[in-house]
Amino acid sequence: MEVLSITGGQRLFGTVRVTGAKNSVLKLMAAALLAQGTTTLTEVPDILDVEIMAELLRRLGCEVDHDGPARRVSITVPEILAHRADYDLVRRMRASICVLGPLLARCGAADVALPGGDNIGSRGLDMHIAGLKKLGAEVTNQHGYLIASTQQRLTGASIWLDFPSVGATETILMAAVTANGVTVIDNAAREPEIVDICQMLINMGASIDGAGTSTLTIEGVEQLEPVAHCTVSDRIVAGTWAVAAAMTQGDVTVLNANPAHLEAALDKLVSAGAQVSHVAGGFRVIMDNRPLAVDVVTLPYPGFPTDLQPQFIALNAIASGAALVTENLFEARFRFVQELARLGADVRTDGHHALVRGRSHLSGAPVEATDIRAGAGLVLAGLVADGITSIYGVSHIDRGYADLVPALRELGAQVERIEAESLFT
Protein backbone atom coordinates (compact mmCIF):
# COMPACT_ATOMS: atom_id res chain seq x y z
CA MET A 1 0.00 0.00 0.00
CA GLU A 2 1.28 3.43 -0.91
CA VAL A 3 1.00 6.66 1.03
CA LEU A 4 1.37 10.27 -0.11
CA SER A 5 3.71 12.04 2.24
CA ILE A 6 3.51 15.82 2.12
CA THR A 7 5.67 18.24 4.08
CA GLY A 8 3.59 21.38 4.25
CA GLY A 9 4.61 25.01 4.00
CA GLN A 10 5.83 25.49 0.42
CA ARG A 11 4.36 28.18 -1.77
CA LEU A 12 3.37 26.73 -5.17
CA PHE A 13 4.87 28.59 -8.11
CA GLY A 14 4.97 27.84 -11.85
CA THR A 15 2.93 26.28 -14.63
CA VAL A 16 0.89 23.10 -14.75
CA ARG A 17 -0.89 21.54 -17.72
CA VAL A 18 -4.23 19.79 -17.39
CA THR A 19 -5.31 16.88 -19.63
CA GLY A 20 -8.79 15.72 -20.69
CA ALA A 21 -11.61 15.21 -18.21
CA LYS A 22 -12.08 11.81 -16.56
CA ASN A 23 -15.81 12.48 -16.39
CA SER A 24 -15.92 13.04 -20.13
CA VAL A 25 -13.53 10.47 -21.53
CA LEU A 26 -15.25 7.48 -19.88
CA LYS A 27 -18.53 8.46 -21.59
CA LEU A 28 -16.77 9.16 -24.91
CA MET A 29 -15.32 5.64 -24.76
CA ALA A 30 -18.84 4.27 -24.21
CA ALA A 31 -20.19 6.43 -27.06
CA ALA A 32 -17.64 4.81 -29.39
CA LEU A 33 -19.77 1.62 -29.09
CA LEU A 34 -22.41 3.31 -31.22
CA ALA A 35 -20.35 3.08 -34.42
CA GLN A 36 -18.68 0.09 -36.01
CA GLY A 37 -15.01 0.82 -36.81
CA THR A 38 -12.17 2.66 -35.08
CA THR A 39 -12.76 5.71 -32.89
CA THR A 40 -9.71 7.53 -31.55
CA LEU A 41 -9.75 9.75 -28.48
CA THR A 42 -6.93 12.14 -27.55
CA GLU A 43 -6.06 14.12 -24.39
CA VAL A 44 -7.03 11.00 -22.47
CA PRO A 45 -5.90 11.21 -18.82
CA ASP A 46 -3.52 8.40 -17.82
CA ILE A 47 -5.69 7.07 -14.97
CA LEU A 48 -6.88 3.65 -13.82
CA ASP A 49 -10.54 4.32 -14.69
CA VAL A 50 -9.62 4.57 -18.39
CA GLU A 51 -7.98 1.14 -18.15
CA ILE A 52 -11.07 -0.28 -16.41
CA MET A 53 -13.32 1.12 -19.14
CA ALA A 54 -10.91 -0.26 -21.78
CA GLU A 55 -11.20 -3.72 -20.18
CA LEU A 56 -14.99 -3.44 -20.13
CA LEU A 57 -15.04 -2.57 -23.85
CA ARG A 58 -12.66 -5.46 -24.61
CA ARG A 59 -15.05 -7.86 -22.89
CA LEU A 60 -17.84 -6.52 -25.09
CA GLY A 61 -15.75 -7.54 -28.13
CA CYS A 62 -13.85 -4.31 -28.93
CA GLU A 63 -10.14 -4.02 -29.55
CA VAL A 64 -8.79 -1.23 -27.36
CA ASP A 65 -5.33 0.25 -27.64
CA HIS A 66 -4.62 2.52 -24.68
CA ASP A 67 -1.35 4.48 -24.89
CA GLY A 68 -1.12 6.17 -21.49
CA PRO A 69 1.92 8.45 -22.03
CA ALA A 70 0.62 9.53 -25.48
CA ARG A 71 -2.77 10.28 -23.87
CA ARG A 72 -4.57 8.33 -26.61
CA VAL A 73 -7.12 5.53 -26.80
CA SER A 74 -8.20 3.75 -30.00
CA ILE A 75 -11.33 1.63 -29.87
CA THR A 76 -12.20 -0.73 -32.72
CA VAL A 77 -15.83 -1.74 -32.44
CA PRO A 78 -16.99 -4.94 -34.22
CA GLU A 79 -20.29 -5.38 -36.03
CA ILE A 80 -21.65 -7.66 -33.32
CA LEU A 81 -21.10 -6.79 -29.67
CA ALA A 82 -21.63 -8.69 -26.44
CA HIS A 83 -23.99 -6.78 -24.13
CA ARG A 84 -23.10 -7.70 -20.56
CA ALA A 85 -21.09 -5.51 -18.14
CA ASP A 86 -20.04 -7.71 -15.23
CA TYR A 87 -20.12 -6.79 -11.57
CA ASP A 88 -16.37 -7.27 -11.07
CA LEU A 89 -15.71 -4.23 -13.31
CA VAL A 90 -18.80 -2.16 -12.43
CA ARG A 91 -18.04 -2.40 -8.70
CA ARG A 92 -14.56 -1.02 -9.38
CA MET A 93 -15.92 1.90 -11.39
CA ARG A 94 -19.54 2.96 -11.17
CA ALA A 95 -19.19 5.05 -14.36
CA SER A 96 -19.35 1.67 -16.18
CA ILE A 97 -23.12 2.25 -16.12
CA CYS A 98 -22.61 4.59 -19.09
CA VAL A 99 -22.46 1.59 -21.47
CA LEU A 100 -26.17 0.97 -20.76
CA GLY A 101 -27.55 3.48 -23.33
CA PRO A 102 -25.17 2.67 -26.22
CA LEU A 103 -25.49 -1.11 -25.74
CA LEU A 104 -29.26 -0.93 -25.76
CA ALA A 105 -29.15 1.22 -28.91
CA ARG A 106 -26.64 -1.03 -30.72
CA CYS A 107 -27.69 -4.52 -29.55
CA GLY A 108 -31.31 -4.06 -28.46
CA ALA A 109 -30.20 -5.44 -25.10
CA ALA A 110 -27.93 -4.52 -22.19
CA ASP A 111 -27.23 -6.39 -18.96
CA VAL A 112 -25.31 -4.07 -16.68
CA ALA A 113 -24.47 -4.84 -13.06
CA LEU A 114 -25.96 -2.36 -10.59
CA PRO A 115 -23.13 -0.30 -9.12
CA GLY A 116 -24.72 0.27 -5.70
CA GLY A 117 -23.89 3.31 -3.56
CA ASP A 118 -20.42 4.56 -2.76
CA ASN A 119 -18.51 6.72 -0.31
CA ILE A 120 -20.19 9.94 -1.42
CA GLY A 121 -23.84 8.85 -1.38
CA SER A 122 -26.64 6.62 -2.56
CA ARG A 123 -26.48 7.51 -6.28
CA GLY A 124 -29.84 6.51 -7.77
CA LEU A 125 -30.48 5.31 -11.33
CA ASP A 126 -34.26 5.87 -11.43
CA MET A 127 -34.03 8.64 -14.06
CA HIS A 128 -31.82 6.52 -16.34
CA ILE A 129 -34.38 3.69 -16.13
CA ALA A 130 -37.46 5.90 -16.57
CA GLY A 131 -35.87 7.56 -19.61
CA LEU A 132 -35.06 4.26 -21.32
CA LYS A 133 -38.59 3.00 -20.64
CA LYS A 134 -39.99 6.13 -22.29
CA LEU A 135 -37.92 5.27 -25.37
CA GLY A 136 -39.67 1.89 -25.46
CA ALA A 137 -37.25 -0.37 -23.60
CA GLU A 138 -38.22 -2.94 -20.99
CA VAL A 139 -36.00 -2.57 -17.95
CA THR A 140 -35.94 -4.96 -15.00
CA ASN A 141 -33.69 -5.59 -12.06
CA GLN A 142 -32.62 -9.24 -11.79
CA HIS A 143 -29.98 -10.74 -9.52
CA GLY A 144 -28.09 -7.45 -9.17
CA TYR A 145 -28.23 -6.59 -12.87
CA LEU A 146 -30.22 -4.02 -14.81
CA ILE A 147 -31.61 -5.96 -17.77
CA ALA A 148 -32.73 -3.64 -20.56
CA SER A 149 -34.14 -4.86 -23.86
CA THR A 150 -36.22 -3.83 -26.81
CA GLN A 151 -37.73 -5.95 -29.61
CA GLN A 152 -37.50 -3.13 -32.16
CA ARG A 153 -35.57 0.10 -32.65
CA LEU A 154 -36.07 2.51 -29.71
CA THR A 155 -38.64 5.24 -30.35
CA GLY A 156 -38.14 8.96 -29.71
CA ALA A 157 -40.06 10.47 -26.78
CA SER A 158 -40.40 13.58 -24.61
CA ILE A 159 -38.56 13.12 -21.35
CA TRP A 160 -38.53 15.52 -18.43
CA LEU A 161 -35.84 14.89 -15.84
CA ASP A 162 -36.72 15.56 -12.18
CA PHE A 163 -33.15 16.78 -11.70
CA PRO A 164 -30.50 17.69 -14.34
CA SER A 165 -28.59 14.45 -13.76
CA VAL A 166 -25.34 14.16 -15.73
CA GLY A 167 -25.50 10.36 -15.94
CA ALA A 168 -29.21 10.16 -16.84
CA THR A 169 -28.80 12.82 -19.55
CA GLU A 170 -25.91 10.82 -21.04
CA THR A 171 -27.72 7.47 -20.90
CA ILE A 172 -30.85 8.82 -22.59
CA LEU A 173 -28.83 10.83 -25.13
CA MET A 174 -26.76 7.82 -26.19
CA ALA A 175 -29.86 5.63 -26.46
CA ALA A 176 -31.80 8.28 -28.42
CA VAL A 177 -29.27 9.19 -31.12
CA THR A 178 -30.21 6.16 -33.23
CA ALA A 179 -33.87 5.89 -32.10
CA ASN A 180 -36.76 6.19 -34.49
CA GLY A 181 -38.01 9.81 -34.40
CA VAL A 182 -37.38 12.80 -32.16
CA THR A 183 -36.44 12.74 -28.48
CA VAL A 184 -36.62 15.86 -26.34
CA ILE A 185 -34.81 15.82 -22.97
CA ASP A 186 -36.03 18.66 -20.77
CA ASN A 187 -34.18 19.79 -17.64
CA ALA A 188 -31.09 18.15 -19.17
CA ALA A 189 -27.65 18.55 -17.59
CA ARG A 190 -25.57 21.38 -19.07
CA GLU A 191 -22.06 20.40 -17.95
CA PRO A 192 -19.14 20.96 -20.37
CA GLU A 193 -18.75 17.16 -20.40
CA ILE A 194 -22.30 16.89 -21.81
CA VAL A 195 -21.41 19.43 -24.51
CA ASP A 196 -18.28 17.38 -25.26
CA ILE A 197 -20.18 14.13 -25.80
CA CYS A 198 -22.81 15.97 -27.89
CA GLN A 199 -20.03 17.36 -30.07
CA MET A 200 -18.52 13.91 -30.56
CA LEU A 201 -21.92 12.38 -31.37
CA ILE A 202 -22.68 15.18 -33.85
CA ASN A 203 -19.35 14.51 -35.57
CA MET A 204 -20.33 10.82 -35.69
CA GLY A 205 -23.44 11.85 -37.63
CA ALA A 206 -26.00 12.36 -34.85
CA SER A 207 -28.53 15.17 -34.99
CA ILE A 208 -28.55 17.00 -31.64
CA ASP A 209 -29.76 20.50 -30.93
CA GLY A 210 -29.33 22.49 -27.72
CA ALA A 211 -26.06 21.10 -26.32
CA GLY A 212 -25.19 23.16 -23.23
CA THR A 213 -28.83 24.21 -22.67
CA SER A 214 -31.58 22.59 -20.57
CA THR A 215 -33.37 21.21 -23.63
CA LEU A 216 -31.73 18.65 -25.87
CA THR A 217 -33.54 17.78 -29.08
CA ILE A 218 -32.30 14.62 -30.73
CA GLU A 219 -33.49 13.43 -34.10
CA GLY A 220 -32.63 9.75 -34.42
CA VAL A 221 -30.42 8.67 -37.34
CA GLU A 222 -29.99 5.14 -38.77
CA GLN A 223 -26.29 4.80 -38.19
CA LEU A 224 -23.22 6.58 -36.79
CA GLU A 225 -19.64 6.62 -38.04
CA PRO A 226 -16.43 6.38 -35.99
CA VAL A 227 -14.45 9.61 -35.44
CA ALA A 228 -11.31 11.13 -33.93
CA HIS A 229 -12.12 13.37 -30.97
CA CYS A 230 -10.12 15.44 -28.48
CA THR A 231 -11.45 15.20 -24.88
CA VAL A 232 -12.56 18.43 -23.19
CA SER A 233 -10.09 19.59 -20.54
CA ASP A 234 -10.67 18.59 -16.92
CA ARG A 235 -12.24 21.59 -15.19
CA ILE A 236 -12.15 19.88 -11.78
CA VAL A 237 -8.42 19.17 -11.96
CA ALA A 238 -7.89 22.76 -13.19
CA GLY A 239 -10.01 24.05 -10.30
CA THR A 240 -8.04 21.95 -7.81
CA TRP A 241 -4.81 23.60 -8.99
CA ALA A 242 -6.46 27.00 -8.67
CA VAL A 243 -7.36 26.30 -5.03
CA ALA A 244 -3.85 24.95 -4.39
CA ALA A 245 -2.40 28.26 -5.63
CA ALA A 246 -4.76 30.26 -3.40
CA MET A 247 -4.20 28.15 -0.27
CA THR A 248 -0.40 28.15 -0.52
CA GLN A 249 -0.32 31.89 -1.30
CA GLY A 250 1.28 30.92 -4.58
CA ASP A 251 1.34 31.91 -8.22
CA VAL A 252 0.22 29.14 -10.59
CA THR A 253 -0.62 29.24 -14.29
CA VAL A 254 -2.96 26.44 -15.35
CA LEU A 255 -2.76 25.57 -19.05
CA ASN A 256 -5.08 23.60 -21.35
CA ALA A 257 -7.86 24.83 -19.08
CA ASN A 258 -10.99 26.77 -19.96
CA PRO A 259 -11.76 29.43 -17.32
CA ALA A 260 -15.28 29.77 -18.76
CA HIS A 261 -15.97 26.25 -17.45
CA LEU A 262 -14.94 27.30 -13.93
CA GLU A 263 -16.60 30.67 -13.53
CA ALA A 264 -18.38 29.88 -10.25
CA ALA A 265 -15.24 28.50 -8.60
CA LEU A 266 -12.82 31.15 -9.89
CA ASP A 267 -15.25 33.85 -8.80
CA LYS A 268 -15.16 32.38 -5.28
CA LEU A 269 -11.36 32.51 -5.32
CA VAL A 270 -11.52 36.20 -6.23
CA SER A 271 -13.86 36.70 -3.24
CA ALA A 272 -11.28 34.85 -1.14
CA GLY A 273 -8.71 37.48 -2.17
CA ALA A 274 -6.96 35.85 -5.14
CA GLN A 275 -6.07 37.57 -8.40
CA VAL A 276 -7.34 35.47 -11.28
CA SER A 277 -6.45 36.37 -14.85
CA HIS A 278 -6.99 34.71 -18.20
CA VAL A 279 -3.87 33.76 -20.17
CA ALA A 280 -3.56 32.13 -23.61
CA GLY A 281 -4.81 28.55 -23.19
CA GLY A 282 -5.72 28.86 -19.53
CA PHE A 283 -5.64 31.07 -16.45
CA ARG A 284 -3.35 32.26 -13.68
CA VAL A 285 -4.06 32.47 -9.94
CA ILE A 286 -1.95 34.63 -7.63
CA MET A 287 -2.54 34.94 -3.90
CA ASP A 288 -0.56 37.19 -1.56
CA ASN A 289 -2.48 36.84 1.68
CA ARG A 290 -4.26 34.35 3.86
CA PRO A 291 -7.55 33.57 2.07
CA LEU A 292 -10.83 35.06 3.28
CA ALA A 293 -13.58 32.54 4.09
CA VAL A 294 -16.13 32.04 1.27
CA ASP A 295 -19.61 30.49 1.43
CA VAL A 296 -20.26 27.79 -1.15
CA VAL A 297 -23.47 26.15 -2.39
CA THR A 298 -23.07 23.20 -4.77
CA LEU A 299 -25.46 23.02 -7.73
CA PRO A 300 -25.60 21.45 -11.19
CA TYR A 301 -23.58 23.34 -13.83
CA PRO A 302 -23.25 26.31 -14.23
CA GLY A 303 -23.54 26.36 -10.43
CA PHE A 304 -20.63 25.62 -8.11
CA PRO A 305 -19.43 22.03 -8.75
CA THR A 306 -19.78 19.42 -6.01
CA ASP A 307 -16.47 17.97 -7.21
CA LEU A 308 -14.70 21.10 -5.89
CA GLN A 309 -16.57 21.23 -2.59
CA PRO A 310 -13.98 19.33 -0.48
CA GLN A 311 -11.19 21.51 -1.90
CA PHE A 312 -13.10 24.65 -0.82
CA ILE A 313 -13.71 23.18 2.65
CA ALA A 314 -9.92 22.76 2.85
CA LEU A 315 -9.46 26.40 1.78
CA ASN A 316 -11.99 27.62 4.33
CA ALA A 317 -10.29 25.54 7.03
CA ILE A 318 -7.27 27.89 6.86
CA ALA A 319 -9.14 31.05 5.87
CA SER A 320 -9.74 34.16 7.90
CA GLY A 321 -13.36 34.03 9.09
CA ALA A 322 -16.11 31.42 8.96
CA ALA A 323 -17.97 29.97 5.96
CA LEU A 324 -21.12 27.97 5.37
CA VAL A 325 -20.77 25.23 2.77
CA THR A 326 -23.97 23.63 1.44
CA GLU A 327 -23.85 20.32 -0.46
CA ASN A 328 -26.90 19.68 -2.61
CA LEU A 329 -25.80 16.69 -4.72
CA PHE A 330 -24.13 13.96 -2.66
CA GLU A 331 -25.34 13.49 0.90
CA ALA A 332 -22.22 11.72 2.18
CA ARG A 333 -19.64 14.07 0.76
CA PHE A 334 -19.01 15.67 4.16
CA ARG A 335 -17.68 12.38 5.57
CA PHE A 336 -14.19 13.54 4.80
CA VAL A 337 -14.33 16.42 7.27
CA GLN A 338 -13.59 13.87 10.02
CA GLU A 339 -10.22 13.36 8.35
CA LEU A 340 -9.69 17.09 7.95
CA ALA A 341 -10.40 17.44 11.66
CA ARG A 342 -7.37 15.18 12.30
CA LEU A 343 -5.29 18.02 10.85
CA GLY A 344 -6.93 20.46 13.25
CA ALA A 345 -9.70 21.85 11.03
CA ASP A 346 -12.77 23.21 12.79
CA VAL A 347 -15.76 21.95 10.76
CA ARG A 348 -19.23 21.28 12.10
CA THR A 349 -21.77 19.54 9.84
CA ASP A 350 -25.53 19.50 10.12
CA GLY A 351 -27.34 17.65 7.31
CA HIS A 352 -26.21 19.15 4.05
CA HIS A 353 -24.55 22.18 5.66
CA ALA A 354 -21.02 22.49 7.00
CA LEU A 355 -19.84 25.40 9.10
CA VAL A 356 -16.11 25.90 8.68
CA ARG A 357 -14.29 28.20 11.08
CA GLY A 358 -10.89 29.09 9.67
CA ARG A 359 -7.77 28.32 11.71
CA SER A 360 -4.46 30.06 11.23
CA HIS A 361 -2.64 26.70 11.25
CA LEU A 362 -3.32 23.06 10.47
CA SER A 363 -0.95 20.41 11.76
CA GLY A 364 0.18 17.42 9.70
CA ALA A 365 -1.08 13.94 10.63
CA PRO A 366 -1.89 10.60 8.98
CA VAL A 367 -5.29 10.76 7.22
CA GLU A 368 -7.33 8.56 4.89
CA ALA A 369 -8.76 9.58 1.49
CA THR A 370 -12.17 7.96 0.98
CA ASP A 371 -12.93 9.23 -2.54
CA ILE A 372 -11.21 11.19 -5.30
CA ARG A 373 -12.24 14.68 -4.25
CA ALA A 374 -11.92 14.05 -0.52
CA GLY A 375 -8.38 12.97 -1.37
CA ALA A 376 -7.80 16.20 -3.29
CA GLY A 377 -9.06 18.21 -0.30
CA LEU A 378 -6.67 16.38 2.01
CA VAL A 379 -3.72 16.93 -0.36
CA LEU A 380 -4.47 20.68 -0.36
CA ALA A 381 -4.70 20.74 3.43
CA GLY A 382 -1.43 18.79 3.64
CA LEU A 383 0.30 21.42 1.47
CA VAL A 384 -0.31 24.08 4.13
CA ALA A 385 -0.25 22.02 7.34
CA ASP A 386 2.78 22.21 9.65
CA GLY A 387 4.99 19.11 9.40
CA ILE A 388 4.14 15.87 7.59
CA THR A 389 0.71 14.75 6.37
CA SER A 390 0.57 11.09 5.28
CA ILE A 391 -2.44 10.37 3.09
CA TYR A 392 -3.65 6.77 2.89
CA GLY A 393 -6.08 5.62 0.19
CA VAL A 394 -3.90 7.08 -2.60
CA SER A 395 -5.62 4.82 -5.14
CA HIS A 396 -8.71 7.03 -4.82
CA ILE A 397 -6.69 10.13 -5.70
CA ASP A 398 -5.02 8.33 -8.62
CA ARG A 399 -8.46 7.79 -10.15
CA GLY A 400 -8.86 11.49 -10.87
CA TYR A 401 -5.40 13.06 -10.83
CA ALA A 402 -2.81 11.65 -13.25
CA ASP A 403 0.83 12.40 -12.39
CA LEU A 404 -0.10 14.43 -9.33
CA VAL A 405 3.20 14.00 -7.50
CA PRO A 406 5.52 15.11 -10.35
CA ALA A 407 3.24 18.08 -11.05
CA LEU A 408 3.20 19.13 -7.39
CA ARG A 409 6.99 18.80 -7.17
CA GLU A 410 7.44 20.85 -10.32
CA LEU A 411 5.50 23.62 -8.58
CA GLY A 412 7.73 23.41 -5.52
CA ALA A 413 5.78 21.16 -3.15
CA GLN A 414 7.61 18.69 -0.94
CA VAL A 415 5.76 15.46 -1.64
CA GLU A 416 6.58 11.82 -2.24
CA ARG A 417 4.86 8.47 -2.63
CA ILE A 418 6.17 5.91 -0.22
CA GLU A 419 5.31 2.34 0.68
CA ALA A 420 3.20 2.43 3.84
CA GLU A 421 5.38 -0.27 5.48
CA SER A 422 8.41 2.00 5.33
CA LEU A 423 6.61 4.39 7.69
CA PHE A 424 7.06 1.80 10.44
CA THR A 425 10.64 0.71 9.80
Q: Which residues bind ligand EPU (CB under 6 A)?
A: 23, 26, 95, 120-128, 163, 165-168, 306-307, 329-330, 372-373, 400
- Minimal distance, residue 242 CB to ligand EPU, in Å: 16
How far apart CA 324 and CA 313 sit, in angstroms, is 9
Residue 259, burial from CB neighbour count under 10 angstroms (0-12, 13-18, 19+)? buried
Q: Which is nearer to ligand EPU, 62 or 120 (CB)?
A: 120
Run of H or E residues at 228: strand 228-230
Q: Which among 46, 86, 118, 346 is annotated as catalytic?
A: 118
Give the number of other Cβ atoms within 10 Å of residue 249's Cβ. 17
| Bridge partners, residue 37, by sequence | 77
Least distance in angstroms from the C-beta of 374 to ligand EPU:
9
* Min separation Cβ 276 and ligand EPU, Å: 22
Identity of the residue, 66 or 373, whose beta carbon is nearer to ligand EPU in the bound complex: 373
10 vs 306, beta carbon nearer ligand EPU: 306
Of 166 and 379, nearer to ligand EPU (C-beta) is 166
Report the DSSP beta bridge partners of residue 317.
Answer: none
| Rounded least distance, CB 125 to ligand EPU, Å | 5
Q: Which residue, 248 or 306, is less far from ligand EPU as judged by CB?
A: 306
Considering only CA atoms, which of 34, 35, 41 is closest in space to residue 231?
A: 41
User: Which positions ≥6 away from 184 have C-beta within 8 Å?
Assistant: 157, 158, 159, 215, 216, 217, 218
Residues 90 and 1: their CA atoms lie apart, in Å, by 23
CB-CB contact of 301 with 189 (8 Å): yes
Cβ 292 to ligand EPU shortest distance, Å: 26
What percentage of the chain's residues is helix, strand, coil (to nearest 5)? 35, 30, 35
Whole-number minimum distance, CB 289 to ligand EPU, in Å?
A: 30
- Calculated CA dihedral for residues 92, 94, 100, 102, nearest 10 degrees: -90
- The span from the CA of 24 to the CA of 237, in Å, is 13
- CA–CA gap between residue 155 and residue 184 (Å, rounded): 12
Spell out a b/e string for 313-340, using b for 16 or more CB atoms within 10 Å of the CB, else e: bbbbbbbeeebebebebbebbbbbbebb
Pick the closer one to ligand EPU by CB: 268 or 373. Answer: 373
**118 classed as catalytic:** yes
Nearest distance in Å: CB 367, ligand EPU: 18
Which residues are part of the catalytic machinery? 118
